[in-house]
Amino acid sequence: MLGQRDRRQPELFVAGSLRDLVPEDHVLVRVDKVLDLSWLEAEVAGLYHAGIGRPGIAPEVAVRLMLAGMLLGIVHDRRLMREAQVNLAIRWFIGYGLHEPLPDHSSLTRIRQRWGAERFERIFRRTVQACVAARIATGEVVHLDSSLIRANVSWDAIARRHVAAVESANTEDGESGAPDGGTSRRRVALPSACTTDPDASLATNRKGRRSEPSYKHHTAVDAGCGVVLDVAVTTGAVHDTQTVGAQLDAISATTGAAIRTASMDASYAITRVFAELEARRIEAIIPTKAEHPPKRGVIPVRRFKLDAKNRVVRCPAKRLLRLHGKPDSDGFQAYRARVPVCQACRLRPKCFGATMKRRAILLHQDHPALLRARRKYARWQERERGVYRSHRIRVEGYHGEAKTWHGLGRAVRRGLDNMRIQAYLAAAAVNLKRLAAVLRLILACARQRSTGFQQKAA
C-alpha cells in the first residue's frame, strides 16, 4: 500500500526530551559525558557587575556553543546560530528547549572580547588535566611542531611599510627621477605590513612557495593518544624554535610530570634548542641538518676542531684560532687566527680567498651540544626512529585534523588574541574527542566483559 504523509499537520507537543531524539553516537552526546564546566562561572564572575545590567548568556552555554561549533566545523558565529536554530543536538547540548529563542550571534563576540584569550587558555588547560587524570596522557614523551594559518585578510591589504610617505616626500622635493637624466638606483625591498590585521605577517613554510599573510600555530602533542598538551600562536615571522622553552615549561606545569623525551623535525635542529634540552635533561629526538657545503676548494668548517675546555679551535694545520670579541645577540662567537700564522700556512690557498688575510669561523657558544646531537643522530636505533615516526603521525596528524575538521585552516577573525582563542577552542575540542573516545572504548569493553560473565553463568 502506498504511504502518505501530511506535512502541514502541526505537532502541538513534543513527548520526552530532546536527548531522546539525538543518536547515542553523536559527537556532542559523547563529548557531553566528559565535559565539566562547573568551575567556569566562578572563573569569570569577576568580569561582570553584580546587579547591574540585563542578565547575559550563562558562561557554560557560551562555551558549549563555541565548542559545538568547533566540533562540527562551524567557525562563524552567524552560521553557528543559524545551525543551532534547526539542529536538535546543538539545542540539547547547550541546554535550550525546542521553542526557546537562542542568543544573538553578537553575544559570542562580546564574550570573547570580555573574557580575553586567558580564559579560553584555562578552558583548554582543564581538558589537558582531564586527559591526564584519565591516564590517556602523561606528558613524558611529547612531539612539537608548528604550522602556518592563513590570516583573514586579502592581498589588497598588504602594503610596503612607509612607501606612501617616502614617495610623497620625494614628489614634494622634486626627486621623481635620477639626477642628470641617469638611471635611478634600484629600490630597496621594504618589509610588508597588513593594513587590516597588523599582527599577521608574510610567511611561507616551503621553499619556492609564495609567502602569505599568516599566523604560526605552535603545538605540543602527547605521544600516547595524541592529546594536545600545549598551544601557542605567534605571528608568522616568529621562528619555530623561539617558543620551545615556554611550551616545555607550560607542559610540565599543566601535567605535573617531567618531560623525558621531546621530538621535533629538522627545522628545530639548531644549537640553542639542543643546549636547552640538555640543560633540562630531556632526550632530543631531532634529525640534525647537514652542514652547508663550502665553496669548491675551500676547507669546510667541520675540519676545525673545537677545544671547549681551553676555548680555542684547532685548524687542519694544527694551528690555533682564538676567541675574538664577545658573543652576538644569538650566542655566536668568532674564532680567528693570527695574520702571520695564516699567511705562512701551507694550506692557505684552500682555506680562504686571496683578498682575505686570515681564516675566521663563527661557532655558537653551545656548539658542543650540536656536536653531541649529530653523533647521536648518526647512531639512531629502532627506538629513536619509532619515536620520530610517531611525531609525524601525532603532531602533523593533529594539524591536518584541526585544519580539515575544526576550522583551523584559516583565521576566522583578525588579531592575535582572536587567533589564540580559535586555536585554544580547536585544541580543547580535539582533547574532548580523545577523552570521549577512550571512555566509549572502556564502556564497550565493560559491557563485553559483563556479557561474557553472564554467558558463562548461564
pLDDT digits (tens, 9 = 90+) for 120-137: 999 999 999 999 999 999
What mean pLDDT is predicted for residues 353-382? Answer: 90
As a whole number of angstroms, the distance between CA 432 and CA 135 comes to: 14
**pLDDT category, 301, cuts 50, 70, 90?**
confident
Bridge partners (DSSP) of residue 307 are: 312
Question: When comparing pLDDT for 247 and 207, which is higher?
Answer: 247
What pLDDT does 311 receive?
87
Residues 6+ apart with CB under 8 A from 390: 143, 223, 263
What pLDDT does 179 receive?
44
Judge contact between 88 and 21, C-beta under 8 A.
yes
Q: Cα 96 vs. chain centroid, distance in angstroms?
A: 34
Bridge partners (DSSP) of residue 232 are: 218
What mean pLDDT is predicted for residues 160-175? Answer: 54
C-alpha cell at 304: 676545525
Q: Is the pLDDT of residue 8 over 50?
A: yes
Structure confidence by residue, pLDDT tens digits, 309-336? 888 999 998 889 998 888 888 889 899 9
Q: Which of 149-158, 165-174, 405-414 has the highest mean pLDDT?
A: 405-414
What pLDDT does 309 receive?
85
Structure confidence by residue, pLDDT tens digits, 235-246? 998 999 999 999
CA dihedral 262, 267, 271, 272 (to 10 degrees): -70
- AA letter at 256: G
Structure confidence by residue, pLDDT tens digits, 190-231? 456 777 888 888 888 877 788 888 999 999 999 999 999 999
As a whole number of angstroms, the distance between CA 137 and CA 427 comes to: 14
What pLDDT does 185 receive?
47
What pLDDT does 169 receive?
55
Q: Which helix (H) or strand (E) holds 229?
A: strand 228-235
What mean pLDDT is predicted for residues 422-433? Answer: 98
What pLDDT does 182 receive?
47
The average confidence (pLDDT) of the chain is: 87
**pLDDT category, 291, cuts 50, 70, 90?**
confident
What pLDDT does 52 receive?
77
**pLDDT category, 186, cuts 50, 70, 90?**
very low
The number of beta carbons lying within 10 Å of the beta carbon of residue 285 is 23
What pLDDT does 7 receive?
66
Q: Is the pLDDT of residue 184 over 50?
A: no
- Return the domain boundaries, the chain: 18-116, 141-172+190-289+374-428, 301-368
CATH class of 141-172+190-289+374-428: alpha beta
Q: Is the pLDDT of residue 148 over 90?
A: yes
Q: Is the pLDDT of residue 87 over 60?
A: yes
Structure confidence by residue, pLDDT tens digits, 96-109? 988 899 999 999 99
Q: Between the CA of residue 149 and those of 15, 74, 405, what are the distances in Å?
A: 46, 17, 14
Q: Is the pLDDT of residue 299 over 80?
A: yes
What mean pLDDT is predicted for residues 268-294? Answer: 91
What pLDDT does 313 receive?
92
Q: Is the pLDDT of residue 183 over 50?
A: no
What pLDDT does 28 receive?
97
Phi, psi of 315 (to 5 degrees): -85, 170
As a whole number of angstroms, the distance between CA 220 and CA 217 comes to: 10
As a whole number of angstroms, the distance between CA 338 and CA 44 comes to: 66
What pLDDT does 247 receive?
98
Q: Is the pLDDT of residue 171 over 60?
A: no
Q: Is the pLDDT of residue 308 over 90?
A: no
Structure confidence by residue, pLDDT tens digits, 10-66? 665 666 788 888 999 999 999 999 999 999 999 999 988 877 777 788 999 999 999
Structure confidence by residue, pLDDT tens digits, 428-449? 999 999 999 998 888 778 777 7
Q: Which of 208-222, 261-275, 285-299, 342-356 has the highest mean pLDDT?
A: 261-275
pTM: 0.87
Question: When comparing pLDDT for 284 and 194, which is higher?
Answer: 284
